[in-house]
Amino acid sequence: MKHRIVVLGAGYAGAYVAGNLARRLSPADTEVTVVNAVPDFVQRMRLHQLAAGQDIEAPKLADVFAGPGIRLRVARVTAVDPERQVVAVADADGGGELGYDTLLYALGSHGADRAVPGAAEHAFDVAARPSALRLRERLDSLGRRGEGGRVVVVGDGLTGIETATEIAESRPGLSVALVARGELGARLSAGARSHLRQACDRLGITVLEHTSVEAVEATRVLCADGTALASDATVWTAGFAVNPIAAASGLEVTENGQIVVDRTMRSVSHPNVYAIGDSAYAIGDNGRPLPMSCASAGYTGRQAIEAIVGRLTGRKIANTKLVYTYNHISLGRRDGILQMVDDEGQAKPKYMGGRKPARIKAGILKMSLWATSHPTFGMPKRKHPLAAAPDATAEKAVARREGGRVAA
Length of the chain: 408
Neighbours of 311 (CB within 10 A): 27
Whether residue 177 contacts residue 220, with contact meaning beta carbons closer than 8 Å, is answered with: no
What residues contact residue 60 under an 8 Å CB cut-off, 6+ apart?
39, 40, 41
Sign of CA dihedral 67, 69, 70, 73: positive
**Sheet containing 174-179: which strands, arranged edge to edge?**
123-124, 233-236, 149-154, 174-179, 206-208
DSSP 169-181: HH-TTEEEEEE-S
DSSP annotation of 90 reads E
Question: Which residue in 59, 68, 54 sits closest to 36, CA to CA?
Answer: 59
CA 323 to chain centre: 16
Q: Is 139 exposed, middle or buried (CB count within 10 Å of its CB: 0-12, 13-18, 19+)?
A: buried
Whether residue 88 contacts residue 77, with contact meaning beta carbons closer than 8 Å, is answered with: yes
Q: Which residue type occupies 155? A: G
Question: Which residue in 347, 349, 293 sits closest to 323, CA to CA?
Answer: 293
Neighbours of 391 (CB within 10 A): 17
Whether residue 209 contacts residue 182, with contact meaning beta carbons closer than 8 Å, is answered with: yes
Q: Per-residue pLDDT for the chain (408 aa), expressed as one digit of tens each? A: 899 999 999 998 999 999 999 988 999 999 999 999 999 999 999 999 999 999 999 999 999 898 888 999 999 999 999 999 999 999 988 889 999 999 999 998 887 767 899 999 999 999 889 999 999 999 999 988 877 899 999 999 999 999 999 999 999 999 999 999 999 999 999 999 999 999 999 999 999 999 999 999 999 999 999 999 999 999 999 877 888 999 999 999 999 999 999 999 999 999 999 999 999 999 999 999 998 888 888 899 999 999 999 999 999 999 999 998 888 999 999 999 999 998 888 899 999 999 999 999 999 889 888 888 777 666 556 678 888 655 444 454 444 445 444 433
d(CA 177, CA 200): 10
pTM for the full predicted model: 0.89
d(CA 14, CA 348): 31
CA 108 to chain centre: 5
Q: What is the CA radius of gyration of the chain?
A: 22
